[in-house]
Structure 1
Amino acid sequence: MLDTLTSPTEINGIGVPDSRLGRAITEFIRDTESELLFNHSSRVFFFGALAGQQRGLSVNHELLYAAAMFHDVGLMPSHASADLRFEVDGANAARDFLHSYGVDPSDIEKVWTGIALHTTPGVPEFMHPVVALTTAGVEMDVLGLTYGQYPEEIREAVVAAFPRTPHFKEDIIQAFYDGIEHKPHTTFGNVKADVLADKDAGYRRDNFCSVIRCSHWVS
């Protein structure tokens, strides 16, 4: 069982990193993302950090905060490319931001990877804690996969600090769609293809077997 709550902004001993970099990340994401995505990303950080406690993982909370807060930046028009997966756009934005603050390249790589792989199930959990816990936070807040592993008072504290909208499930699906509808080809082999299929009756997803059969190889 997790410890009791200590304050509205500190949950089970975890708080938003109160450092120069942490404050800069908060300011940048608050100015860049919608309130929906800002609160979602904040919850991803807390759920990811709490998962780290549960799993006995040691993780740099500053790096985890960077990965969690930047993981959906690629959905925003200001950071969306025409031809890259939105996850890569977000990872690139985080890389550039962290580089400007003199973060060690090896640490930047951890954050980049955590963001780039956060929609690739079955892989991040075996990687560095920054990578694994970014996905853990996303899977909890969006999919609720580990909902029962968090005590009710912990879940309520996270949501009280960073509220879910009354229709968050549909709101987040819409936010995903709005961020990727202009580049459907980037969802090939990606869970976000399901978002396009749900929202666009005319969408036809690429087929892996068809790609193989239509290649230039004779056999």
Structure 2
Amino acid sequence: MIGTIVNVIAIVAGSVIGGTLKRVMSERVSSTLFTAMGVAAMVLGINSAVQNMSNSSYPVLFIASLAIGGAIGSSLRLGERMGNATSRRGGKELGQGLVTGCLLFCVGTLSILGPVQSALYGDATFLFTNAMLDFVTSMVLASTYGVGMCLAAVVLFVWQGSIYALTVLLGDFISGSMMTELSIVGGCLIMMSGISILGLKEIKTLDFLPALAVPVLWCPIAPLLSHLL
């Protein structure tokens, strides 16, 4: 777990530095960074989805995931609850920033495989590398949304800690197929955040967060179903 702890510290440190810079930035510069984050999120999301699409074993799974996840999330009003919580801490922009940050920090090869490598082999190389990337990302995000981006570190800790614990209990349960499907769905969610940041369409990205659970549940049972059918 040392790698995850370093990753958390990196996000907190980056958020504090970025949040401090935000206070001395002009509104014009802040607006420019806001636009830059929207474009960056869209590009990263599209790249993640398109890059993995050709390797998908279940080409329509991401559609089903978004539909099922969106239905569950909107029924639970996840986006609305997040908006109400963050409005008391820093406004709607912080909420959007946290959603984008959590997706960028958690939905990635290093962030998912890192805890697996650490649990199975005691190797935290992936997590240390991820920590350096997240330090820079959190600094940029916090310079746009404020020091409240530190809250994303809590989500990362729970995410990576859960993967670590499941790997200890179940072994190497994250298959290459699951990683591919998660990357596609995650890319779609990151792209949604980018669209919202740029103001092209208001999307409650958090409502779609349960979509990430669909590939995790489907990939282990799909081979069993194919044998039965």
Decide: shared fold, TM above 0.5.
no
Provide TM-score, normalisation by structure 1.
0.34
Q: Which has the higher contact order (CA 8 A, sep 6+)?
A: 2
Q: TM-score, normalised by structure 2?
A: 0.33
More helix by proportion, 1 or 2?
2
